[in-house]
A and B are shown apart, each in its own frame.
Chain A
Amino acid sequence: MKNTALKKEHYEATTNACKLCTPLGASLAFKGVRGAISLMHGSQGCSTYIRRYLISHFKEPIDIASSNFSEDTAIFGGGANLKKSVANVIRQYKPELVGISTTCLSETIGDDVPMILNGIRHDADGAPLPPIVHVSTPSYSGTHADGYVGAVRALVDALSIRKNHEIEPSMVNIFPGMYSPADLRYLKEILEDFAIPYRMLPDYSETLDGGPWTTYHKIPHGGTSVSEIADMASAQASIEFGYVTRKGTTAAGLLSSRFNIPAYNLGMPAGVRATDRLFDLLSELSGNLIPDRHARERERLLDSYVDGHKYLFGAKAVIYGEEDLVAGMFAFLTEIGITPILCASGGTSGKLAETLESLRPEGYDEPITVLQAADFGQIEDAALGTGADMFVGNSKGYSITRKMGIPLVRVGFPIHDRVGGPRIHHIGYRGCQELFDRVTNALLDVKQEATGVGYSYM
């Protein structure tokens, strides 16, 4: 069709959103708790849509129950439905935890979920119930990234209790961002190699990327147990990832104010410098040197930077996705000689521009164009005519790169037009290496296609 220019300074309407809704993020976080079942308080469409969307990326079974509002529930309140649904999921799944997120529907009618849950506990009359954790996630406020952070905080808020006054020496709490299951597995590997005892929340490294079953699993294996979450209150320190997370809204922040546990905030450890900061911190906390095989992984990475720099230098990329991911990719790409000409996110923290400015490498004096609370309509307008060489982001940028005839290097979430989304490494030296190879090869591919001869030698 005609290339319709969307250009206008500001639109009221959102065209092709660059964000998903809050309860999706909460459900993702609940998938990282062992034996947990996620339940959405609202219309059944929310859980169906969010399930089908998460499943199309992770390609794993994902169960999310719903309290199935109907018209009269919407009018008279959802208490009865929530009670019924909690009873039914407990009976069917025998879960170790029920994670409840709200939807626009239950939030708009103003259901008092904590009160309903107290009623459920009261009615149980001492009969054992699994912990039921509630997070408020109206999708008219924030994005999926906020729902994720909110659910992790809600879990810690509800479950973390210091049983005695002892602090477990060298025990570290890890609160990863919305990274891939492969990233989480790798993060655990790093911690183990440092010999650091840790508790990680959420941990969906197995629940959302597992093997075939020999017997039926109502809830896939893996995840952080409720007792581990409880014990997070006695750690020596917390490390949280996220460049733009607001102080006081995170699990690490809560543990810091409630139990005086020092919170170290790192951004997404993407790129060598950001990863170095992580390794330095782990070294400091554990008193151990950087494990040899990770040091060698770093050396191989730097070696490849040298080998590949001439193919990358001056290439222009558009980065988009969650704010933390955009900041991480900005740090990584500027480090390998690529100019991020446009950095965009649907995120609404308002902190993306200053974050990117703080990540500006020494000697990098290109202007940084940032679109905050943006949609793909704006991203397309801004990207057309910039001579961008590639997009780095999720599958949703595809229609623009198709129009522009440039490659899309798929990272983040959602990736529903390729296999392997959950197996992509984004963080650490390993993630850097994987992305470096993919980014370089994407550009080589274009160059090779464009030559008349079709050279097959670099």
Chain B
Amino acid sequence: MESSKPLYSGESLEELKQDILKKYPTKVARKRAKQIIINTIDEKEKVPEIGANARTIPGILTQRGCTYAGCKGVILGPTRDLVNIVHGPIGCSFYAWLTRRNQTRLKTPDDENYMTYCFSTDMQDSDIVFGGEGKLKTAVQEAYDLFKPKAISIFSTCPVGLIGDDVHQVAREMKAKLGINVFAFSCEGYKGVSQSAGHHIANNGIFKHVVGEDDTVQDGEYKINLLGEYNIGGDGFEIDRILSACGIKVISTYSGNSTYDQFANSHTADLNTVMCHRSINYVAEMMETKFGIPWIKINFIGAKATAKSLRKIAEYFGEQKLIDTVEEVIAKEMPEVESAMADARSHCEGKTAMMFVGGSRAHHYQELFNELGMRTVSAGYEFAHRDDYEGRKVLPTIKVDADSRNIEELQIEKDSARFRARKTKEQLKTLADKGFTFKDYKGMMPGMEQGSLVIDDISHYETEQLIEFFEPDVVCAGIKEKFVVQKSGVPMKQLHSYDSGGPYAGFRGAINFYKEIDRMVNSRVWAYVKAPWQKNPELSGSYAWE
């Protein structure tokens, strides 16, 4: 937070908010009012309460996806040696077929990679009427016969829960028969309010069925897991490069560039570092309870945030050798970053951005915009919960509604044989005295400026209202919003797929992002299309002789 003077006055934002709300019927307006918040931050970093993780109103166009998308598409899609079978009619499997740009890197050309496949039971009328369990068993058998994979996972789509196919029973049966791990997810699309429910279901499933399957203790110092990093556009590769230069060993990544074995062995790490708090904090919590691995929130989006995260990891391990290496790496990387930053900043400073995306990206990317001297006037998440906005301190006050109760909470206990406290009480005290905090996520709002506007689950209509009000220089969201923003004459950056760009994480990623945003907001193409508030576009001007 750079200045205490509000970005916009409370009155002007309130007027905008009322303008938006008056188009809705009373009940809808009342609900949306809780999800549209003018950001204020008090001395204790307390921010106003926001309505989040509540059902979208039918007929209001949302950015959100479904439970299946969160489970199969997001969390388990990037694991390359897992055969994912989608149980249901064809669409759901087709739409999740290589549509996220998670990259993966095989160790040898002969390694398994099933990410390029889309397996489905392709249910037909008769399966809906008579049940699809038989077909599912056959599909699992076929996948086994073909590939002899380490593991097979099954994902349920909407009709499966309704017709009562017992996917978990099929999984158990096939696991016993084939002698490989087979597990299923009840991630029917209608189960939650957004893909967030699917993340939770996926976390539970991996934890229940995979984590702890392999107790091998690997060589290497400073062993961590990187949670909630999906290797879009190669982000994970850049983070791996940096961590490896620092001498930090990554046991597993959830789930970019991941393999089944990494998950199975992940409980042997000594620290969990959490990138996307929303999608993966459940696994971090469960690993702490069962195996004693503490977790910290880190962020590798933004050069300064990257340096800060590296220092935090080094501080946790507390060895001078690591602290020195981390400082050397930062010192080596920063000159190039700073020169690119200064160059882009000279063209971008003072411009504004809006971001409506994900459950952590709308927060993390503000770091990069800050580095460019650009201000985030409005931001919001698609599928976050209140803690992602206001910080984990509000967790005890979050009301659990019917939709959240639908999602199983695993009762995790200490694993008496394998639980190992990673730090002694004295060590924890020393860290705490130095101000080191575990499982601490402050959320997006305390980091945003006073007088910015925060909106949860933004609708199509609201996006348009906001573009008119803020006249931003760039909007970040996903492909569904991309063309409506661009048609309005505003540059739009996709933060789900990166528009085939990236990586944007780490130091080199930051450089890529500075250049990309500089190119976009200063491209001459915008002179040719007219934004509503632009007066004289070059191409639709009148001819001189008229």
Q: A residues touching B (Cβ–Cβ < 8 Å)?
A: 1-2, 4, 6, 8, 11-17, 19-24, 39, 42-46, 48-53, 55-56, 59-74, 81-82, 84-89, 91-92, 103-105, 108-109, 138-141, 143, 210, 212-217, 396, 399
Contact = CB atoms under 8 A, between A and B. Distances in A.
Q: Give the contact-size bracket for chain B.
A: 35 or more
A62 B162 CA distance: 30
B99 to A, nearest CB: 7
Given A55-B483, A70-B55, A108 B163 contact: yes
Contact of B116 (A87, A91, A399): A399
Smallest CB-CB A-B distances: 5 pairs? A45-B66, A21-B91, A88-B59, A85-B59, A13-B139
Contacts of B460: 63
A20 B138 CA distance: 22
A13 B122 contact: yes
B331 interface: no
B479 A84 contact: no
Contacts of B158: 42-43, 69, 74, 103-105, 108
B190 A55 contact: no
B57 interface: yes
Contacts of B139: 12-13
B91 A70 contact: no
B33 interface: no
A186 to B, nearest CB: 23
Interface stretch (B141-149, B318-326, B385-393, B421-429): B141-149
B16 to A, nearest CB: 16
- Residue of B89, B110, B125, B530 with most chain A CB atoms under a 10 A cut-off: B89
B127 A140 contact: yes
B135 interface: yes
Nearest to B468: A216
A214 B532 contact: yes
Nearest to A72: B402
A92 B68 CA distance: 28
A84 B159 contact: no
B478 interface: yes
Given A44-B64, A87-B25, 16 more contacts: A2-B112, A12-B121, A15-B118, A17-B122, A20-B90, A20-B91, A21-B90, A45-B65, A48-B480, A50-B95, A66-B59, A71-B406, A104-B89, A104-B159, A108-B159, A139-B91
Contact of A213 (B118, B163, B190, B487): B487
Contacts of A4: 146-147
A15 B121 CA distance: 9
Given A2-B110, A20-B90, A15 B117 contact: yes
B127 to A, nearest CB: 7
13 contacts: A1-B110, A2-B110, A4-B147, A16-B118, A17-B120, A20-B94, A65-B59, A68-B57, A73-B190, A86-B59, A105-B159, A105-B190, A210-B487
Interface in B113-131: 113, 116-125, 127-128
A140 B532 contact: no
A15 B86 CA distance: 10
Given A4-B146, A140-B124, A49 B190 contact: no
A139 B89 CA distance: 6
A103 B191 CA distance: 16
Nearest to A141: B125
B127 A1 contact: no
Interface in B449-500: 460-461, 464, 468, 478-480, 482-484, 486-489
Contacts of A88: 25, 28, 57-60
Contact of A46 (B56, B120, B189, B540): B189
Nearest to A82: B58
Interface string B59-73: 111111111110000
B529 interface: yes
A65 B125 CA distance: 26
A4 B110 CA distance: 10
